[in-house]
Amino acid sequence: MNLQVAKWGNSLALRIPADYVRRVGIKDGDHVEASLTIDGGIYIRAARWDRKAFAHDLEKLRAAIPMGESVMEELRQGARY
């Protein structure tokens, strides 16, 4: 299949036909990996999910959340037994 290269800001872009998108299972906002082949071609495929990178990002987000008092402790203080 021949695809047309188009200008997108300061970069170049390719439009992926809808049939290919459905077959590969990618959607808007997904990441893809691109690499060069030995014969000078471009190989593009859906990026794999990286568990270590996800865990690292999750840890950074968790560290950014301020920790306060336990909600359960606040409820217990007002409870009648």
**What confidence category does residue 10 fall into, taking pLDDT thresholds of 50, 70 and 90?**
very high
CATH classification at residue 63: 2.10.260.10
Q: Are 32 and 44 in contact (CB under 8 A)?
A: yes
**What confidence category does residue 71 fall into, taking pLDDT thresholds of 50, 70 and 90?**
confident
The candidate with the shortest Cα–Cα distance to 32, out of 48, 18, 47, 52, is: 47
The answer on pLDDT for 25 being more than 90 is no
Backbone angles phi, psi at 6, to 5 degrees: -130, 155
The answer on pLDDT for 1 being more than 90 is no
With H, G, I as helix, E, B as strand and everything else as coil, classify residue 20. Answer: helix
- How many domains in the chain? 1
Instruction: Give the structural domain span for 64.
Output: 5-78
